[in-house]
Amino acid sequence: MKEISEQIKKSPEKTTRQYFVGQLSRPQTLPFIEGDKLEIGITSYGDFKGELPHYHTQAYEYQYIISGKTEYLDVETGELYTFQKGDFYVTTPGIKYAQRSQPGTVIFLLKRPRGMIK
């Protein structure tokens, strides 16, 4: 178990996102549980990074900020939200949003039902 814990700590050094559960097709650094009902993962931002505006047709995406800070823009209303360590929020299906995170931000995420094939 200690070996897996060390793998989890080191995996964001190699990539920005790793999944613990999902139906995955891309190579993973971590061992994961195969499942088609949801996705659970962790995202780590080494550099200041923004995501292009997008939306999920069916998935609810729950995010918990482990460290750092992220900004979330609701593209349709223009409302900007700032989330930081300890905050928990959800993005519902059909909401078009963009997100950008400061360096050092780590986010735990859960999508249900699962999103795109990874």
Task: Indicate whether 4 pLDDT > 50.
Answer: no
Does the pLDDT at position 10 exceed 70? no
The per-residue b/e assignment along 60-95, b for 16 or more CB within 10 angstroms, e otherwise, is ebbbbbeebbbebbeeeeeeeeebeeeeeeebeeeb
Residue range 93-98: average pLDDT? Answer: 94
pLDDT of residue 97: 94
What is the average per-residue pLDDT within 53-59?
91
pLDDT at site 116: 56
CA distance 84 to 46: 16
Give residue 14's pLDDT. Answer: 47
34 has a pLDDT exceeding 90: no
User: Could you tell me the pLDDT band of residue 53, with boundaries at 50, 70 and 90?
Assistant: very high
Domains identified in the chain and CATH numbers: 2-112 (2.60.120.10)
93: pLDDT strictly greater than 70? yes
